[in-house]
Structure 1
Amino acid sequence: MEPSVTQQSNNNSVTKSNILIEASYKLTVTEQKIILYLVSQINKDDDDFKMYSLPIQHFYELLGYRGSPKYSEMREITRNLMRKILEIKEGKKLKQMSWISYVEYDEHSGRVSLSFDPRLKPYLLQLKKEFTTYRLKNVMELKSGYSIRIYEILKRWQFINDVEIPLDDLRKMVGATDKYLEYHNFKKRVLAPAQKEISAKTDLAFAYKEVKSGRKVVAIRFFIRERRVGGKGVVPEIPHETGGVDALYSQCLARFAERGQPLPPKAFARIALLSQKVFGEDWIDELTKMIDDIVERTDIREPLAFLTYVLNEKIDRIEKGQDHSEVSVGKIEKAMRREKLPDWFAEYQKQFLQDMEQNSAHEDGDIERRRSELEARLQKYKN
């Protein structure tokens, strides 16, 4: 395999599958920058990984060092990096793999070459949908590994401006499952510094809200905005690409419009999150089918509320270790003995969706109560 000579520019772009962005792993800030620099060297038309080669001096400077390269120090960094594992969850599958499979130092030519693990190909090469792109420059100036990961996650959801992430999931994504176990420490050491650094050095800024169940913080809701270009160290951002998501949103808008129902971006975001939890990497195709089936049914007065109900029921089945396919648009229709859905069902689902949209702390218990009541009433109707 011939090494590919890397471009020595931080203005290159980083493009990663959204699945990879939301993977669980723990890398130091130096290790993250090595990985992201290598990702930025991938050409969008590449169908296989290359050996990415760069001058050892440049590699040394990339790590934030000055002076003559210390080979023993660099070798220790790459050895540790090759041991690091990332976990990718796709549906019921959990995949574990390494980032780097091979490193070669050539002191004669003064170059170092690195190669990605080939199992990363589906998440970095020939991406046609569900990916996110951003400028390498935005992360190379960040000093915290947590800031880099949170920036990537926010970039993934920038197109809808806000996203709610369960705290446990966020910990896994940023690599803080064994640190700052008390939330106030996590806030002090991870969230607050990342908010300050990202807002000062990148093209994004964000605010966040703590979502609680009782007194316990269970999720973080991020409010994302794009920073105006002009400050020192902020480069113009390339168009944000989200692959099939934008196209899906446009398609969903049109389908719901046929029934005279609006589809706000926040409502679509919630549907997308629920669908990903149920269907994994096939969520776009599966969600499209569900929406088509629901919109075609004239007995459903509130398609959006009905869709939300079905997805929540599927998630409930999955969490209980049951087959979520037992809950589907078609099977609910049969359970109703082909009668029109009763008025209470449509109206109740509409209120349920409104409760979800509000998403305030004091309503968490009420939302769960409504869901339980709805399930009980529906079961009586089926019988």
Structure 2
Amino acid sequence: MAEQRLILLAILEARETGHGIDHSSLLRVHAHAYAEQFSIDKGNSYQVLKDASKGLFDRYVTYHDKNPKNGNDRSFHCRWVDKIGYEKATGTVYMRFTADVVPLITRLEEQFTSYEIAQVAGLDSGYAIRLYELIIKWRSTAKTPFFELQSFRQQLGVELNQYKTMSNFKSRVLEPAIKQINENTDITVKYNQHKQGRVITGFTFTFVVKPKAQKATESKRDADTPDMLISLKMTDKQRSAFAAKLSRMNELSTKAKQREDYKQFAERIETELLDEDKQVFYIPYLKKLGFNVY
């Protein structure tokens, strides 16, 4: 759980500083930022952060793909980070994500807003954090697609030999995670189980944004970003031209997906520039390119 918080905070720090995330990035996370973000005692925050980085160094992630030569399914394990460091005098931890993990991290970075990262601050279960990550991607529809059981277990980080019976999986993983999300975040979640005969094969989830959270989000947006959202009006021609320029900026290179060429990256940016929530991210870079956002 502390390791997941560290990853999320590293994403937030990289975004706010504009440094981005790639395999050459030595990311810095400060103890005071960890304490403020996750409401822990500042006196202990450096040690908590240091322990979390050590734990992350020892952990690995499993991912799956297909062999391009024969189409066979493959499973890989790789470390999250290949380098960590400590600077006690300033309460700073340094870390560098492995090359294999960077694409996974940047995809997570695309999915999460700073507001959503703040939401997981109150979650103290790794399963709850992962479930929130999975669910919140479908904020626009408030319902998820079907999650096949075995794949879903892997996404939550449940090992093959853990909670093998459905009753244990529900009582030890799924239901406690949902309870934490409902009590500590901006959404209320319900799950539906799907069966083939009497066997549960997977789950779907529906959720609603809590009224207070909805108002808070709208209030924050009204207070902090109205000029940006109102002023960022682009013609189709401008959007296409600036998307092409953005796709070639070094600062944004880590946002490109694996095997995505400049044209594909530009097309994705052009689509994101239509999304008010994602527009804000591009404003500093548009300014550098000379677009007048005001």
Q: Does 1:169 align with 2:151?
A: yes
2:184 to 201, 204, 214: 201
Deviation of 1:60 (Å): 6.2
SS in 2 for 1:229: helix
SS in 1 for 2:63: strand
1:155 to 136, 145, 164: 136
Residues 31-56 of structure 1: CA deviation (Å, up to 9, x unaligned): 11111111122237737353222434
Greater radius of gyration (CA): 1
Query: Aligned equivalents of 1:194 and 1:42: distance in 2?
Result: 28
Indicate if the aligned counterparts of 1:30 and 1:63 stay in contact, CA closer than 8 A.
Answer: no
1:119 is matched by which residue type in structure 2? D
Query: Aligned equivalents of 2:83 and 2:152: distance in 1?
Result: 30
Query: Aligned equivalents of 2:33 and 2:5: distance in 1?
Result: 13
Deviation of 1:137 (Å): 0.7
Percent identical residues: 22
Indicate if the aligned counterparts of 1:90 and 1:281 stay in contact, CA closer than 8 A.
Answer: no
1:84 to 32, 56, 59: 59
Indicate if the aligned counterparts of 2:149 and 2:201 stay in contact, CA closer than 8 A.
Answer: yes
Indicate if the aligned counterparts of 1:57 and 1:69 stay in contact, CA closer than 8 A.
Answer: no
Query: Aligned equivalents of 2:26 and 2:105: distance in 1?
Result: 15
The answer for the alignment partner of 2:20 in structure 1 is 46
1:82 is matched by which residue type in structure 2? F
The answer for the alignment partner of 2:3 in structure 1 is 31
SS in 1 for 2:93: strand
Q: 1:138 to 1:281 in 2, by over 3 A?
A: farther
The answer for the alignment partner of 2:203 in structure 1 is 220
Indicate if the aligned counterparts of 1:137 and 1:235 stay in contact, CA closer than 8 A.
Answer: no
Q: 1:132 to 1:54 in 2, by over 3 A?
A: closer
Residues 113-148 of structure 1: CA deviation (Å, up to 9, x unaligned): 2222233333344x6x99522321111111211111
Query: Aligned equivalents of 1:86 and 1:221: distance in 2?
Result: 24
2:2 is matched by which residue type in structure 1? T
The answer for the alignment partner of 2:118 in structure 1 is 137
Indicate if the aligned counterparts of 1:91 and 1:281 stay in contact, CA closer than 8 A.
Answer: no
Query: Aligned equivalents of 2:6 and 2:109: distance in 1?
Result: 23
TM-score of the superposition, structure 2-length normalised? 0.60
Matches within 5 A, 1:1-383: 29-43=1-15, 46=20, 48=22, 50-56=25-31, 58-59=33-34, 65-66=40-41, 68-69=43-44, 75-92=50-67, 93-125=74-106, 131-134=110-113, 135-160=116-141, 161-177=143-159, 178-230=161-213
Query: Aligned equivalents of 1:281 and 1:173: distance in 2?
Result: 23
Q: 1:227 to 1:79 in 2, by over 3 A?
A: same
Query: Aligned equivalents of 2:2 and 2:21: distance in 1?
Result: 27
2:11 is matched by which residue type in structure 1? V
Query: Aligned equivalents of 1:132 and 1:112: distance in 2?
Result: 25
Deviation of 1:155 (Å): 1.4
2:171 is matched by which residue type in structure 1? K
Indicate if the aligned counterparts of 2:130 and 2:156 stay in contact, CA closer than 8 A.
Answer: yes
- Stretches of structure 1 that go unaligned for 5 or more consecutive residues are 1-28, 239-279, 286-383
Query: Aligned equivalents of 2:199 and 2:34: distance in 1?
Result: 44
Q: 1:219 to 1:142 in 2, by over 3 A?
A: same
Indicate if the aligned counterparts of 2:34 and 2:45 stay in contact, CA closer than 8 A.
Answer: no
1:174 is matched by which residue type in structure 2? L
Deviation of 1:179 (Å): 2.1
What's the C-alpha RMSD, in Å, of the aligned pairs?
3.5
SS in 1 for 2:164: coil
Deviation of 1:231 (Å): 8.4
SS in 1 for 2:183: helix
Query: Aligned equivalents of 1:79 and 1:131: distance in 2?
Result: 26
Residues 21-80 of structure 1: CA deviation (Å, up to 9, x unaligned): xxxxxxxx1111111111122237737353222434554676765363487765444222
Q: 1:214 to 1:204 in 2, by over 3 A?
A: same
The answer for the alignment partner of 1:352 in structure 2 is none
